[in-house]
Structure 1
């Protein structure tokens, strides 16, 4: 492993906002909000490459910066020796590479396969499909971004498409089908407001769901409220996935992969009654109209329940995930536990809930401190004589 003398944890922690340290083409900058930003600034093939890798809060480390520098140098070597990058003799277009990649994931139990197929089918292949995959460049990606923005795609949507494309390219590199992978600049996303339901709003929503015309409304909100499961993962549950004795749900399909999802006793008891009489492979959210036999989405039903509950916030099924995590933070669970509970990839994604809960508790403590002080509002009123 390469030894660094400047880019050490001690050196990075000692930086003040706005300061930067660099070593071997890798830069680390302490931002004004306390976050850290990784970037590279190297000269390769007589051309200066100054690119942002990512933020520390998003899970980026020096490892990703080193990989980018290695990738740029690999591109230089490949160009110098006339190597296109792919070890296959036939020219492989991005469309053909995507088909091969998706087949490979299907054979090796890849995660989030349906979503990846959709992103390649509807967006990536129509715009980039004809490009030779070994010659895909950052300029090609920027042209793609411009087209998608012209179609009204949000930065967050484009970043998810970028993640799917990068996963394909990195998988090809691991399979020795590509020599290097381009950076593909990530789009800046505006920091969204963390929307979650209060306990009172949650109870109103459960009541509205119990009175809804859809039999799936109440169990869907119960499961997502008490576990924070993602929309797709909840709808993929089968009766045999409920382990009431251990109080866990077996998650077969999720963005975070296969895992066990803990649940409280109230949900465990509820699901035992709900799944009574079902066969083990029966879906908890069946649909006779769907080819797969299960419901594909609950957006319409959920929106109707939100409206009938008198909730004016902009809520989607994903709001239940925020609600579960926020309630867990207010209950005193630490970020590591919340991360495991919800299946988040990085600790930073779970820490925003504990941070919000800590600030809420801090404000309550501040209020209690001030209101219990001798200096009350009554003592500060002007006297009649001075008036």
Structure 2
């Protein structure tokens, strides 16, 4: 239906003084210094504001063409709505989808919700919040990377944020919130090897002793498992007694980062697990059960208790995190001369290239290996 104009009429436009403007129905006519008339539009279409210069009368642009442009934009939006996934009336902003994503992850008991929530609230919504989810492009993501680097963020930090963004897009597609064809593709930044922090044998002993002294009765076993298996601390927190094969000394891990796997357990740790099972009578359920109100059944964090033990052991809590125990176990295997494919089997890394980072931690085992190349004199 054509628009009816009461203010933006041809006589009124001709009578405009230099610099004068008339606005109606989102169309603005402005008289320029050379007496030419410029037309622009400023309208909301499906929750997105579009502010665009249409052109000048000297370019044969008229009020009708500005009006036709608005109708074209709205027609395209209607056509876009017809192709939206079921249940979505309009294409939502990134902020709306992101908040729905976190809520849905919570109801599905997804992994890493606290970290994803922090990435979304502090980085991703400020960068993409007002943009329609189906309008985010690779160019938007590249601009985000440039901005984060200007903020001083390391590539490894940006990669963690991009991982959250990628998971959000994949989940929104799986839940039919957005069409797969409208999801941008983007890679990750190449990270340097960086410094791998690992504890010495003496520091491990101090940490274990400090964990034994802590008021948290679960902390000692948690530390022992992480130091003697190289498990990620999230994997250790979700261990179940029924997934432990005492005869084969194996834990079955159904939800590992690189897919389900079996985790071998050294003899000393197996003995400790047998002792705990005998003392508690446990054979079912989580090794580290969650407290009252836990929605998952397992314990969500050892952060405070671990920090207490680190301080008690005389170590730096700013550097020694639970993940350092994983670095320590893998480094110990590499220093012992264990071949890297075997290390990969133990650590659960998805690719051998990730394990190769540890080959540079200590060169002594490499020097010993090279000695085998010596020629007899």
TM bucket, shorter chain = 0.5 to 0.7
**What displacement does 1:299 show?**
2.4
Partner of 1:156: 156
Moved more, 343-352 or 106-115: 106-115
The 3 A distance-change label for structure 1 pair 172 and 284 is closer
Work out the CA distance in 2 between the residues paired with 1:212 and 1:102.
Answer: 34
Match of 2:306 among 286, 298, 302: 302
Work out the CA distance in 1 between the residues paired with 2:93 and 2:154.
Answer: 27
Moved more, 215-224 or 276-285: 276-285
Partner of 1:94: 94
Q: CA RMSD in A?
A: 4.0
Number of residue pairs the alignment of both structures matches:
289
Q: SS of the counterpart of 1:219?
A: helix
Post-superposition Cα deviations, 1:60-83, rounded to whole Å, max 9, x if no partner, equal xxxxxxxxxxxxxxxxxxxxx999
Partner of 1:324: 329
Partner of 1:24: none
Moved more, 99-108 or 291-300: 99-108
**What displacement does 1:226 show?**
0.5
Q: SS of the counterpart of 1:327?
A: helix
The 3 A distance-change label for structure 1 pair 362 and 283 is closer
Is 1:343 paired with 2:348?
A: yes
Q: SS of the counterpart of 1:255?
A: coil
**What displacement does 1:231 show?**
1.6
Alignment of 1:265-284 (within 5 A): 265-276=267-278, 277-284=280-287
Q: SS of the counterpart of 1:254?
A: coil
Would the aligned equivalents of 1:155 and 1:187 in 2 still touch at CA under 8 Å?
Answer: yes
Post-superposition Cα deviations, 1:116-169, rounded to whole Å, max 9, x if no partner, equal 466446643454243222210234334544666688755423211202222443
Unaligned runs of 5+ in 1: 1-80, 370-387
**What displacement does 1:270 show?**
0.7
Would the aligned equivalents of 2:198 and 2:328 in 1 still touch at CA under 8 Å?
Answer: yes
Work out the CA distance in 2 between the residues paired with 1:132 and 1:281.
Answer: 47
Is 1:315 paired with 2:332?
A: no
Partner of 2:166: 166
Would the aligned equivalents of 2:136 and 2:184 in 1 still touch at CA under 8 Å?
Answer: yes
Larger Rg belongs to: 2
Work out the CA distance in 2 between the residues paired with 1:85 and 1:190.
Answer: 44
The 3 A distance-change label for structure 1 pair 171 and 301 is closer
**What displacement does 1:85 show?**
12
The 3 A distance-change label for structure 1 pair 285 and 149 is farther
The 3 A distance-change label for structure 1 pair 199 and 270 is same
The 3 A distance-change label for structure 1 pair 356 and 147 is closer
Is 1:360 paired with 2:364?
A: yes
The 3 A distance-change label for structure 1 pair 311 and 147 is same
**What displacement does 1:342 show?**
1.5
Would the aligned equivalents of 2:93 and 2:129 in 1 still touch at CA under 8 Å?
Answer: yes
Work out the CA distance in 1 between the residues paired with 2:105 and 2:300.
Answer: 21
Would the aligned equivalents of 1:93 and 1:132 in 2 still touch at CA under 8 Å?
Answer: yes
Partner of 1:288: 291
Post-superposition Cα deviations, 1:199-253, rounded to whole Å, max 9, x if no partner, equal 2221222122222222122111100001111122111223323221221112244
Work out the CA distance in 1 between the residues paired with 2:343 and 2:358.
Answer: 9
| TM-score in terms of structure 2 length | 0.62
Work out the CA distance in 2 between the residues paired with 1:84 and 1:114.
Answer: 34
Work out the CA distance in 1 between the residues paired with 2:167 and 2:93.
Answer: 16
